[in-house]
Homo-oligomer: A and B are copies of this chain.
Amino acid sequence: MARAATTSDAFNAVAEPRRRDILNYLAMQERSVSEIVDAMEMEQPSVSKHLKVLKGVGLVEVRRDGRQMLYKVNALAIRPLHEWTSTFERLWKHQLLRIKERAEARTT
């Protein structure tokens, strides 16, 4: 079997760096496709395709404004990723604590 589809879930969708770039850009405010194209320095069809994937997994929402399509982030769709990573927070804090302890042991 091949790799999982990027459209399958938010984890796959944000695995693509350009899509994270787009989400970062949209985090500031709602933007039209052409604004994204200018900011990202990507081809317009490429941006439209990435936006389609992001929309497919609910990471962005769109509304039409005349000839323009205005996209914005749906941050709630990112929360599951945040929660998954949070389950490891206890572990890395423990790691950092041990690193700190070792550093102090050396200085003492």
Contacts and interface: CB of A to CB of B under 8 A. Distances in A.
Report the contact-size class of chain A (Cβ under 8 Å from the partner).
Answer: 20 to 34
Contacts of A23: 88
Given A6-B3, A11-B20, A20-B11, A85 B88 contact: no
A43 B85 CA distance: 26
Interface string A5-47: 0100001101111001001100100000000000000000000
Number of copies: 2
A30 to B, nearest CB: 12
A69 interface: no
A2 to B, nearest CB: 10
Contact of A4 (B4, B15, B79, B89): B15
A24 B85 CA distance: 10
Contacts of A76: 92, 95-96
